[in-house]
């Protein structure tokens, strides 16, 4: 059977899952989304993802046309319809179809889309041996232009940095903020280990409040590892003992080289490996 995609209350075969070319999600990137993971038939931190989706929508004055409980049920039903136990869910809310022109008031019917599928961002080999990344010259969106806290359908800022990474032969790129501080990667948050302490940029560095980031901070604290949200500069990353990235799609992935510089001894470090194991235990329990 073809993959089933949910659009505003109905399931469609993948080939027939279509929305209007007048949808402002397409015309202007006017909409919000979430990327969730399901492990063993259960969506990881569903409530947190829905909460963030609602906050993103609130930030762009978009009213989601159903409640959180109904959307959670639709997510579970879409996973079940596709018989997916371990997979990836892309949740999208667009502004809906309307007249040409930016005016969001000239649209009607926001579209709610749920894709349940599989995602593999990086080859397994990179989880074992670590990722090589670069720092992008494209800075993260200025928070006063478009808050990086909003997971909007306009990801060009991140895509520009991703292109820089790919052109340099890297799968990810580290983005600085408008103050020259470390922000995050194009689709992942960043952590460093410095003298046994786990450090990650604070939200006011202009980053997405990652749900995996929160989970890893909690796991580290519970494991007795000292943690802090601290402003970091490129120097801190270059001289870190360990670096890793977190995201719903990527989970926890070690970084062993940045801008061709070896991090630590060039191998995934002990705290990274320990937290990866703890994250696997948490998600696959
Ligand atoms: N920063 C940015 C800019 C992101 O887009 C994260 C950090 C990590 O957040 P979570 O909550 O996932 O820990 C993200 C999330 C995809 C994909 O399809 C992207 C993300 C998540 C899932 C899938 O490329 N980005």
Ligand 1 in contact with 188 (CB < 6 A)?
Answer: yes
How far apart are alpha carbons 207 and 184 in whole angstroms? 6
Q: How far is CA 244 from the centre of its chain?
A: 14
Ligand 1 in contact with 210 (CB < 6 A)?
Answer: yes
Residue nearest to atom 25 of ligand 1 (CA): 187
Using pLDDT thresholds of 50, 70 and 90, give the confidence band for residue 216: very high
Return the structure tokens found at 134. 């670069």
Pick the catalytic residue from 151, 162, 179, 257. Answer: 151
- Cβ-Cβ contacts under 8 Å for 8 (sequence gap 6 or more): 65, 109, 111, 112, 113
Q: Which domains does the chain show, CATH number per domain?
A: 4-117 (3.30.470.10), 124-284 (3.20.10.10)
Active site residue 85: no
Ligand 1 in contact with 206 (CB < 6 A)?
Answer: no
Atom from ligand 1 closest to the CA of residue 212: 13
Q: What is the Å distance from ligand 1's center to 244 Cα?
A: 14
Ligand 1 in contact with 213 (CB < 6 A)?
Answer: yes
Ligand 1 in contact with 189 (CB < 6 A)?
Answer: yes
User: pLDDT for 153-162, tens place per residue?
Assistant: 999 999 999 9
User: pLDDT for 21-35, tens place per residue?
Assistant: 999 999 999 999 999
Kindly state the average pLDDT of the residues 231-240.
Answer: 98
What's the confidence (pLDDT) of residue 14?
Answer: 97
How far apart are alpha carbons 207 and 218 in whole angstroms? 18
**What is the SS3 assignment for 97?**
strand
How far apart are alpha carbons 150 and 53 in whole angstroms? 8
Long-range contacts of 234-238 (CB under 8 A, 24+ apart): 234/135, 234/176, 234/180, 234/182, 236/182, 236/192, 236/194, 236/199, 237/135, 237/174, 237/182, 237/190, 237/192, 237/263, 238/263
Q: What is the Å distance from ligand 1's center to 243 Cα?
A: 17
User: pLDDT for 238-255, tens place per residue?
Assistant: 999 999 999 999 999 999
Ligand 1 in contact with 248 (CB < 6 A)?
Answer: yes
Question: Is the model's pTM score more than 0.85?
Answer: yes
> What share of the chain has pLDDT > 70, as a percent?
100
Using pLDDT thresholds of 50, 70 and 90, give the confidence band for residue 1: confident
For residue 252, which phi and psi values (nearest 5 degrees)? Answer: -115, 125
- Does the CA dihedral 179-185-188-193 come out positive or negative? negative
Atom from ligand 1 closest to the CA of residue 151: 5
């Amino acid at each position: 059977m073809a993959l089933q995609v949910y659009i505003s209350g109905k399931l469609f075969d993948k080939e027939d899952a279509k929305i209007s070319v007048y949808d402002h999600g397409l015309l202007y990137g006017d909409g919000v989304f979430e990327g969730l993971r399901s492990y063993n038939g259960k969506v990881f931190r569903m409530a947190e993802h829905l909460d963030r989706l609602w906050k993103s929508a609130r930030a762009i004055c978009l009213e989601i046309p159903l409640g959180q409980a109904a959307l959670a049920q639709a997510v579970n039903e879409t996973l079940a319809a596709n018989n997916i136990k371990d997979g990836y869910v892309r949740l999208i809310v667009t502004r809906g179809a309307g007249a040409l022109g930016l005016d969001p008031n000239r649209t009607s019917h926001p579209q709610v889309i749920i894709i349940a599928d599989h995602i593999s961002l990086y080859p397994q080999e990179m989880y074992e041996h670590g990722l090589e990344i670069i720092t992008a010259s494209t800075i993260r969106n200025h928070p006063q232009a478009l808050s990086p806290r909003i997971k909007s359908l306009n990801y060009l800022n991140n895509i520009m940095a991703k292109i820089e990474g790919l052109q340099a032969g890297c799968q990810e790129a580290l983005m600085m903020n408008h103050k020259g501080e470390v922000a995050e990667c194009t689709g992942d948050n960043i952590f460093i280990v410095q003298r046994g302490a786990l450090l990650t940029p604070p939200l006011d560095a202009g980053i997405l409040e990652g749900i995996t980031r929160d989970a890893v901070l909690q796991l580290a604290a519970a494991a007795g590892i000292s943690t802090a949200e601290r402003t970091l500069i490129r120097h801190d990353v270059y001289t870190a003992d360990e670096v890793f990235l977190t995201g719903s799609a990527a989970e926890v992935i070690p970084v062993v080289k940045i801008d061709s510089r070896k991090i630590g001894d060039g191998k995934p470090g002990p705290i990274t490996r320990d937290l990866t194991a703890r994250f696997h235990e948490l998600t696959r329990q």
